[in-house]
Amino acid sequence: MVKLSVVVPFYNVQTYAPDALRSLRANARPDFEFILVDDCSSDGTPELLERAAGELPGARLLRHPQNEGLATARNTGIDAASGEYLTFMDGDDWLEPGHLERVLAAIEALGCDFVRTDHVQCTGRARQVQRSPHGLQNVVSCPRSAILPADRSTSVDYPFAWAGMYHRRLVDRGLLHFTHGLRTAEDRPWIWRLHREAESFAAVGLPGIFYRRGVANSLTQIGDVRQLDFIRAFDEVIEETAQDKDADLLLPKAVRTYCAIIAHHAGSIERFEPAVARKLRAMSTAALKRMPQRVLDEALGSMDIERATLLRRLRRRPAPTGVSS
């Protein structure tokens, strides 16, 4: 029986894929499987994966006939996974030797639905450990309890799917799949759903995954229209949270986070292509007008002057026509 399935999407990462694949080999175990998903790469990535599929113990290679984006690539891997537990890695990141075995031992000992780990952020040669915002370590908690408070960084602000491990029962309950087609912020509706609807989780430290920042072809570095999928992602967060039994408690956090992300993008709008910048302004205005207005007023009142002023200015713009997320 497969104990752990590791889902790893790849898209045009030929420079970094060798590091990722070597680190998987250093984490291999007879009861681990590695599901490599080629999201229709157009560089040398497919050849690297073809070779790895024959050399990496437990590897399976799946190919998309067209580029679908990270969310759909992960879903392809989830659907193919057979492990009792699942985890993720991105094709431009890498793992410390033995990391997966340590995290697996932690989640098995705790017996919870999922665990969250710390990680190492890598920017060039710089290394910095990023901690999970949940303060309690190795203590099983209710995931809902880790969503609030609204004005501080909490577990839903640490959305990285690869910073954790998940029991198969979450797949069976429909909680582990991502929203099809989202090309950025795909982990935001996912992490909110996980914390609202799963029954138990724990933070376990174990910073053995290395997250590469500043990759040239990463969507976080590209100012094209795909970046605007964050609007669709957060609309989904707001819509689902509004239907929750604790909506009055949770919506202020969801709205405030959405506002912070809009302010972040609008505050660095010069990095976007001109047509995309115009669309960002229009879509942000429409998004602010869609939010629960009383909750939005409270959120803006709690933010710093610079961001609140920027958001109020966007909110006052005429309602755009023909704009969709």
Domain map of the chain by residue range? 4-217, 223-316
Q: Which runs of consecutive H residues, i.e. helices, occur in the chain?
A: 17-25, 45-55, 70-80, 99-110, 168-172, 187-197, 229-242, 247-267, 274-290, 293-301, 305-316
pLDDT value at position 218?
Answer: 53
According to DSSP, the β-strands at 4-10 and 59-63 are unpaired
Closest Cα partner for 76 from 66, 84, 86, 64?
A: 64
CB neighbour list of residue 211: distance below 8 Å, 6 or more residues apart? 90, 93, 119, 120, 121, 122, 130, 160, 162
Q: What is the CATH number of domain 4-217?
A: 3.90.550.10
Length of the chain: 325
Which stretch of 7-21, 124-138, 205-219, 226-240 has the lowest confidence by average pLDDT? 205-219
Tens digit of pLDDT for each residue in 271-291? 999 999 999 999 999 999 999
> What's the CA gap between 162 and 91, in Å, rounded?
11
* Confidence band for 108, pLDDT divided at 50, 70 and 90: very high
> What's the CA gap between 55 and 319, in Å, rounded?
56
pLDDT value at position 321?
Answer: 74
pLDDT value at position 320?
Answer: 81
Determine which helix (DSSP H) or strand (DSSP E) holds 59, and give its type and residue range.
strand 59-63
Q: Looking at the predicted structure, is the pLDDT value of residue 18 above 90?
A: yes
Q: Looking at the predicted structure, is the pLDDT value of residue 96 above 70?
A: yes
Q: Looking at the predicted structure, is the pLDDT value of residue 247 above 90?
A: yes
CB neighbour list of residue 37: distance below 8 Å, 6 or more residues apart? 7, 8, 9, 10, 62, 63, 64, 73, 74, 76, 77
Q: 45 and 11 in contact (C-beta within 8 Å)?
A: yes
pLDDT value at position 323?
Answer: 62
